[in-house]
Amino acid sequence: MARIQENNEANDVSAPVGGEGHQQLEQDGVHFDNGRAIIPDDAELRREIEKFEANYGYEPTYGGIPSAKQCLPAVEERMTTLNKVQEELKFCLEEAQSRMKLQFNQHVKKTPQWKSGDKVRLSSKHISTSAQPQNLSTDG
């Protein structure tokens, strides 16, 4: 699975740092240069190779559940059950959201469509002015 590449082109832009006669080892998508793992510059390849994989040589398990390549029948059955429960919860959440939307829309008045030139009554409750209100003026 591993292959050694020898680069004899000193002027090549993609030539490794070591120059002429420098050897690189590539194993399972990880490049090794003088025994050190080099993560590729390509963003897609970099995402595929996790630090854990580079350090330990195998994929990490999350929450005690192994990857699909390592699944046991009992684990597959448990994952199937969890997927069914998740689908049911998703359905119930969508139903609850639709009921909430219906309930909300029944009790909300539509906003009137105002046109330029329409007369409206404003509340002065939140409007601050420097003028005295007419009912408090001292003019007689």
pLDDT digits (tens, 9 = 90+) for 81-118: 999 999 999 999 999 999 999 999 888 888 888 899 99
Residues of the chain with pLDDT under 70: 1-52, 59-71, 133-140
CA dihedral 9, 12, 18, 22 (to 10 degrees): -40
Residue 79 has a pLDDT of 87
Helix (H, G, I), strand (E, B) or coil at 8: coil
Q: Who contacts 111 (Cβ-Cβ below 8 Å, separation ≥6)? A: none
- Give the pTM: 0.33
Element (H, E) at 75: helix 73-106
Residue 6 has a pLDDT of 45
Q: Which pair of structure tokens corresponds to residue 113?
A: 């469509």
Element (H, E) at 24: strand 22-27
CA-to-CA distance for 68 and 75, rounded, in angstroms?
10
